[in-house]
Structure 1
């Protein structure tokens, strides 16, 4: 019995963009000379601390964007495997009969 693929070929660009976003979110907070100072204060909290706390929210947003990018690519690959065609601009929502907004 031949195996049928569950996903079509991957496009590298969404994965490269996701990787760059993830690496930036990891590496930038590790560059301590960027934020190793006291001023400016925010509600009495030194810059050193509130900059790191700010990165928690930035990274949560970045992870949400990466999730969207990767899930859209996965949906596109599943549609390609199911239908056998890819015009390069496949919108996963339109393949399910939903209209994009």
Structure 2
């Protein structure tokens, strides 16, 4: 088993995903496909926000548990 300090840092690389996803502008610089009439450009950015919330929350909870601060 890894030492507690190592386990706490192991998930931080996941934080790069919500940082890099909105920076890939050529990937989402288009209007199609549309979702409920909303162009892809806008709903991709909203999906990036939801993705960031999920990943940041997951890393936070995992780190709290590894430090023994969680329930």
Deviation at 1:13, TM superposition (A): 4.1
Alignment root-mean-square deviation, CA: 2.0
How many aligned residue pairs are there? 69
**Aligned counterpart for 2:23 among listed residues 30, 40, 43:** 30
Counterpart CA distance in 1 for 2:24 and 2:10 is 22
Cα shift readout 1:10-64 (whole Å, capped 9, x = no counterpart): 34244132x2111111111111111111110011111000000111111111111
Counterpart CA distance in 1 for 2:21 and 2:40 is 15
**Aligned counterpart for 2:14 among listed residues 21, 24, 35:** 21
SS in 2 for 1:62: helix
**Which of 1 and 2 has greater Rg?**
1
TM-score (norm 2): 0.80
More helix by share: 2
TM-score (norm 1): 0.59
